[in-house]
Amino acid sequence: MSKHLAGEAMTAQEARIAAWLAGVFSLRIVGLFMILPVFALYAEHLDGATPALAGLAIGIYGFSQAIFQIPFGLLSDRLGRKRVIVVGLLVFAAGSVLAGVSHSIWGVIAGRALQGAGAISAAVMALAADLTREEHRTKVMAVIGVSIGVAFAVSMVAGPVLEGLIGVPGIFWLTAGLALGGIAVVRYCVPDPLDARLHRDTQPVPAQFRRVLVDPQLLRLDLGIFVLHLVLTATFVAVPHALVEQAGIPVNRHWEIYLPTMVLGMAAMVPFVIIGEKKRRLKQVFVGAVALLALAELGLVAFHAGAVGISLVMFLFFTAFNLLEATLPSLVAKMAPPDAKGTAMGFYASMQFLGAFCGGAAGGWIRGHYGLSAVFEFGVVATLVWLAAAWTMKNPRYLSSYLLNTGPLDESAAAELARRLTDIRGVAEAVVIASDGVAYLKVDRHALDEPALLAHSRLPA
């Protein structure tokens, strides 16, 4: 029986699956975030609008997504991945249409809440796991992760451009169209899985909820992603107003600020990611990025009255934001138990969405009562709280997740295999789940004796 080495490239079908599912993710992310840089100004023209309600409309999708994303993932185990994804995208499209036809702030709030209720993230991850081999799972998830980052950057630039061409209602209608395009991709481009089963590296497992919720290191990271998206959403409740009212730049030209600062910020963060991972300075890089985010918010307090000042500060903001978006999932993967990574990532994602909700609601309320500067001051305080928590976290172990297909085992054989795997050079932890037929490992890839490890696998030729 031949073995598939972990260093072997994905098959053409696996690469296509990764690309198509990354596209489904990206279409939804673009639809959610295109209104972020433009909605705060548009909301002023809606019936019944107040700054607080405008902020609520921006962030409310996060509340419904935080509620539904884990249940949708669990439901996909029973009803089928593709069926749940299609239903979720239909709900998302319906919310987009409702927001697009609404002339009142409450109608848009309802539409945005419905958008978030179409929470397909966990189901898409589970489908990707069903359709790819264990040894390539990390690569597939990396492709999806990169696509999310690119989609966010595109949406920040596309939103102001499209606002000038089709208006915010048009953006909502376009978002509905993108969701329907995602359904077509899922139905006609992504194959049906032959065996849909539980994947502990990508899916939450109810029996493990308490385990990850009492882990202080994971809780620090959950706090981190909560604050990061709280600050992001609150900041963009206020920045569009600063660009129009203080800097005199019309909303359809805001992309001229966001495009260069976003691109330069993404480029600037790359060396720090390399230093963090390759030089094993991840905690130092991470804490430095949180401090930079606090500095950027402080800069917005002082320099939000002019285009040059806002541009310089937004460069710092996007550098810190992109760096933190890249390092936080890596830290979760390193610190989560090998067989509970999916559960840890599920709660991490829920805290991200909850942060977006709280940031929109709090940012809008603060702007309405205390003005723009107070929103940025709120961002400074929130980020300093996070900095204190990040400062006390442990240095991560520089271990990677590794999955090994073991084939069917009984419980005693699984326990014996786990013992043998931990004796292999470079294997730090091994958990073999007999019912899954998978060994979930934490390994030091620089020291790993991979041939010895693969001698225990049962992979098809």
Q: Residue range 238-242: average pLDDT?
A: 95
* Residue 232: per-residue pLDDT: 97
pLDDT at 33: 92
pLDDT digits (tens, 9 = 90+) for 360-370: 999 999 999 99
Chain segment 258-301, per-residue pLDDT in tens = 999 999 999 999 999 999 988 889 999 999 999 999 999 999 99
3-state secondary structure at position 441: strand
Give the C-alpha separation, 435 to 413, whole Å.
12
Q: Structure tokens of 460?
A: 């098809």
Kindly give, in sequence order, each residue whose CB lies less than 8 Å from that of residue 110, ignoring residues fewer than 6 positions away.
95, 98, 99, 102
- Band of the pLDDT at 196, cuts 50, 70, 90? low
Query: Among the listed ranges 21-35, 130-144, 243-257, 282-296, which one has the minimum average pLDDT value?
Result: 130-144
Q: How many CB atoms lie within 10 A of CB 157?
A: 20
In the three-class reduction of DSSP (H, G, I as helix; E, B as strand; rest coil), residue 400 is classed as strand
Say what the pLDDT of residue 8 is.
61
In this structure, which amino acid lies at residue 86? V
Is the pLDDT assigned to residue 100 strictly greater than 70?
yes
Residues 6+ apart with CB under 8 A from 22: 143, 144, 146, 147
Q: Which helix (H) or strand (E) holds 427?
A: strand 427-433
Angle of CA points 169, 174, 179, to nearest 5°: 130
Please enumerate in sequence order all residues whose Cβ is within 8 A of that of 177, keeping only pairs 6 or more positions apart, or say none: none
Count CB neighbours of 362 within 10 A: 22
Cβ atoms of 179 and 116 closer than 8 Å:
no
Main-chain phi, psi angles of 438, to 5 degrees: -135, 140
Q: Which domains does the chain have, with CATH numbers?
A: 8-203 (1.20.1250.20), 214-398 (1.20.1250.20), 400-454 (3.30.70.100)
What is the model's pTM?
Answer: 0.92
Residue 5 identity: L
Tell whether the model's pLDDT for residue 4 goes beyond 60.
no
CB-based contacts of 427: which residues, under 8 Å, 6+ apart? 421, 441, 442, 443, 448, 453
Residue 364 pLDDT: 97
